[in-house]
Structure 1
Amino acid sequence: MTIKAVVFDFGGVLIDWNRDYLYRQLIPNETERRWFLDNVCKMDWVVQQDGGQSLEEGTAELVALYPEHEALIRAFYARWHEMVAGVLQEGVALVDRLDAAGVPLFGLTNWSAETFPYAWERFDVLRRFREIIVSGRVGVIKPNPRIFALMRAEIEKHLPGIQPNELVFIDDNLHNAQAATDLGWHGVHYTGALDTETKLRALNVPI
């Protein structure tokens, strides 16, 4: 078996994004903050924007549901950049080593089309990828098989005839990694760089 390309998720693997970085400032009480993030600005809502809904529309819908929390809801995207702490150095080092070894690299991320440019402009590691599929741009999110098909189609432009079992997909979300495995890829659940490196070596990926 030969692995011909490695596909990376970004958030939680290469980019340090966390809602708490902003909302610790806005809601100091941990119990109140957890309730707000679990029930109002919850991840199911964030995923709607990652899937292509505009930030304006998503915000308006949530404000209509929870008008008493309007200021906190509007802060989510108005101050979204405060949720991004920077790059995750261990993940970036993994990209560096794979790139140095000549392994073709691609990116597949659940990310709003409107906020992704902020990361693109600031984090040079994102320019190491030959192609990047951003869910908000294509209107479909992981773990939907359609987004993996779109990624594979982009990879085929560079590596004609690539087969699923020649692809590795690294994601910190277990469900997304499993979705790739179910499609015949080698899904790797990212829990840290060392563990991922061990899994890559087991797949004979040069690193």
Structure 2
Amino acid sequence: MSRSLSIVVVEDEPLTRATLVAFLEREGHAVRPASCVAACRAALRDKAADVVLLDIGLPGEDGLSYARELRSAGATGVIIVSERGEIETRIAALDDGADDYLTKPVHLEELAARVRSVARRRAPQGARLSFGPVVLDQAARSAVAAGVPAALTRGEFDLLWALAVAEGKIVSREALSEVVSRGEGDLRSVDALVSRLRRKLASADEDGLIVTAPGFGYRLRPPVTRA
């Protein structure tokens, strides 16, 4: 999610830690660095976090056991960021409570999308978001445009919700494809869904609610607020 999130980056390599912190801060998030599990625990005692980025090979306690601890607490999203890319480790991490797994070197824009995705999945259900004359209700999975209900398919609603929670920032076609396909997707299907959404929201779309970022993805034009 592109609303400002509270994030803790747990990474013992100073340059990598600084790079991740600086990038996520540029994305508008409140980021705290931690070099080990103990430092992360201290940071979370001070203030809860929406998402923890967690390396596996840390000094002292390893990241996998800490992922289990975080999952048992249940309040924080966990993304493993590790050099270890073997499938056994990835499966173990996901089984131990990680919400997602990225292998280093990390593509920073993909990292930002994964952070948004994890925060979105863990957001309280029943949220309502509005932008321009459109109101989305997550619990009812409904959309109202300029006071008129819009009949959206599952894919159309999921794509529009993903754009809404990004709060005006560009969401790549690849990230949107993952949202609507639940896995392997076709980028052309994203474009088709956007085209259909523009037609269905035409009565409320005089200024172009869904804006194309050529060569990258889409964003919403108006400010997004919680309804």
- TM-score clears 0.5: no
* Higher-strand-fraction structure: 2
Tell me which interval the TM-score lies in, with the shorter structure as reference length: 0.3 to 0.5
The TM-score, its normalising length taken from structure 2, stands at 0.30
- Structure with more relative contact order (C-alpha pairs < 8 Å, separation 6 or more): 1
